[in-house]
Amino acid sequence: MTQTEQPPAFFTERDGELIPSPAAQSPWSADMLHGRLIGGLAARGVERGHVTEGLRVARVTVDLFRGSPLVPLRVESRTVRDGRRIRVVDVEIASAQGAIGRASVVLLRGGGTMPGEVAVVPPLEMPPPAAMNAGPGRLIGWRPPFDLHWRLGTDGDGDARRVAWTREIHPLVAGEPVTPLIRAALAADFASPLSNFGPEGLYYINADYTLTLSRPPLGELVGLEVTGRLSEEGVSTGVCVVHDESGPIGHCVVTALANPRMGD
């Protein structure tokens, strides 16, 4: 790829189907679709059919219940409830073999700032870097399909104060911009490896995540900061604060399942 060429999109739309490119491959298997793209496709599906003036996406829960090879996909969405101040949308992502993921999305209509002081999340301790780099071991030999700068922290066993900044470099769908919501949904998937990466590598694969947003991110960078992690008998849950360059904008909660290390 020359300096003037753009990175390929993850998908090309053709006759209502989304055709994955080689850039969409999973770090767990070159023959499989990267699970982080399910959230991006869900966000795109909501924006194309359900976002109207005054309503903003406040919560996206993505279930990643089935791996998929690199085959054409379809995205279907429906409104579950449509009220004056709340809209609930379900999204399904499926191949010819059946559903591979789904999302439940809540859109809210804001009503202005309420009086009184409430606790707020402080800004991210690690400011956005001047240059992005992939950090520890590039995830054991795997180069992420996005710009990444991250730090695992040094306090205790390293599970706290883990911080990352991400920036998308591939379009999700050819010819379409990466919107702020899509950017946030894609970045949120990294809450799992950021929470679960250990001294010997990554031994957990995420089963779902819930992203909450007080507002969409501004700019190209999305930051994540781990605020907690628990695990027992191969089941892990992690919590991150989501940031942009202006400050905190939401949270992400992820559950993950123990899995052979990436690359084994």
Write out the H or E segment, with its range, that includes residue 252. strand 247-258
Find out whether 246 and 226 touch, Cβ atoms under 8 Å: no
- Distances from the Cα of 50 to the Cα of 44, 162, 264, angstroms: 10, 35, 41
Find out whether 165 and 223 touch, Cβ atoms under 8 Å: yes
Amino acid present at 125:
E
Mean pLDDT of 110-139: 69
Between 253 and 205, residue with greater pLDDT: 253
Between 242 and 139, residue with greater pLDDT: 242
CATH number of 11-110+126-258: 2.40.160.210
Mean pLDDT of 122-145: 68
Dihedral sign computed on CA atoms, order 251, 119, 124, 244: positive
Residue with tokens 């399910």: 38
pLDDT digits (tens, 9 = 90+) for 161-203: 789 999 999 999 999 999 999 999 999 999 999 998 877 778 8
Residues found in the chain: 264
pLDDT digits (tens, 9 = 90+) for 76-120: 999 999 999 999 999 999 999 999 999 999 999 987 777 766 767
Q: How many C-alpha atoms does 176 have within 13 Å on its Cβ side?
A: 20
Domain boundaries, the chain: 11-110+126-258
